[in-house]
Structure 1
Amino acid sequence: MTAPPSVYPPAVADLMPAARDLAARLGALPSQNRIKTELRVGHRKAGVILDSLRADLAPPTADPAPPAADTTGDHAGPDPDAIPTVGITPTPPTLATDTPPPPSPLATVAAEPVPEITPAAADAGRRRRRPAPGRVWAYVGVALGGVVSIAANVAHTYLPKPPPGAPDGWTAPVDWSPSPLAIAISVFWPIALFVAVEILTRIAWGDGFWWFFARVVGVLPVALVAAVVSYRHLSGLLAHFGEDPMTVAIGPLAVDGLMVMASAALMVTSRKETTR
């Protein structure tokens, strides 16, 4: 008659032979879940069994001492209590070397000194980036004068001009319209003046006489031509709409004077930003 199975759970020592057989079949250490499934144990006991298997396969920390010489002539056999490790290849230990690891790039960057920014340097940088006072209004004046000048030049091209020898009271045909080339030329003069002003104020010219002479020779003809053409077109437009002779004579000077003053302000503020 066979004895009934024990109702108490088996101890870890009783389960170790089955655990070693499982490791031998797998050729490696089984996972904790595999031990729980195969041996039907709980999570905690499976962890203890896995730690015992790791301890069995841990490599020796030092070379064992050589056995003592046998003077009796009897040779000792293998230890019957030794645990066989059939099919399990122990992991070789990692050998420590004297070569230090290469430095990390982040550590190298962090080790570089960071230049200190003083309050005076920060304030100087803010002053350099801040535009000179009134420079925005100078651009507004140049833009406003240019827009009015372009509008007057374009509108003047739409005023029909009698051909040579036309009788008094001549009127243009109903389908008459100005030439596209005439409109393009009328727009060119104020734009040319604006580009010349930008070249004059944006470029860091020298302080010598020849630099001043080059600026005057380059900008003065463009400014004079644009001012004369704008004046004639605007005065002719005012006369066409029946303005009095005084308004026709001095009205265009407001537009040209605004552009001259705005251009001069851009030149002055540009020199201040350059010397700061």
Structure 2
Amino acid sequence: MSTPLRTAYPVPVEDLIPAARKLAADLGATPSQNRIKSEFRIGADKARAVLAALTEPTHDRAPDSTPAPAEAHLHVVQDQPDAEHSTSAVEMPPAPGEGASPQVRPDTELDTATAPAAAEAVRPVRTWPVLLLALPAFIAVWSGWVGLGELTGFGVVHPLPGIADNFTINSAITLPIGVETYAAFALRVWLSGRVPASARRFAKWSALSALGLGALGQVAYHLLEAAGVTQAPWQITTVVACLPVAVLGMGAALAHLIHARPTEAEGN
């Protein structure tokens, strides 16, 4: 390390520059302004002038000044109030005639040999087999819900009396459409990872609840059908009758949580 210049009189900047260059060569990087102030016992103005002389391009220096060997690639350290050295550095260009090869930062190097393999690794898995798996499940779930709905009072209704008297619809289809569609939607929201935390938690528990209700509905229908029951008990009828309302409420709540701002989501 360099020895500080100690004298009773103010030392000119020109006399401090050689010692500062030796200090930079010992450190392997340009010292900060605070380091120059403490090393040479000088004020901020002189330290700033010395630092400017150290960081100026090599060809701007006086002809009689000889740069240190390690000075061709000195790192310019940003002066920070809370730290003596900074981790961010900018490399100085080499002196003319030295013919130094350009330096490439490690974090910008690209491994061209492994690039095709990386692209191959991130290729998404095809999901079309899910459609084949869903077809038999859709048939079984649809028939089970419609059958349970008919046992609990759902059936053919005229939704538009006085407008289209001949138009009828079986209200039992509202059960598979509502419950199973919401379960699939909530499951997608839960696993997407692109929604607020509150929406993800709600989607998780409501999806599991909807799937559980769907399984219980299928079990109830097949047990009643196997026993030859033509009218479901009042307990099952009560639960099934409440499902459309429950699905509507959960769907509206989940939609609100998905589009809510972070403050609103935290408040919920």
With normalisation by structure 1, the TM-score equals 0.30
Structure with greater contact order relative to length (CA < 8 Å, sep ≥ 6):
1
With normalisation by structure 2, the TM-score equals 0.30
Max radius of gyration: which structure? 1
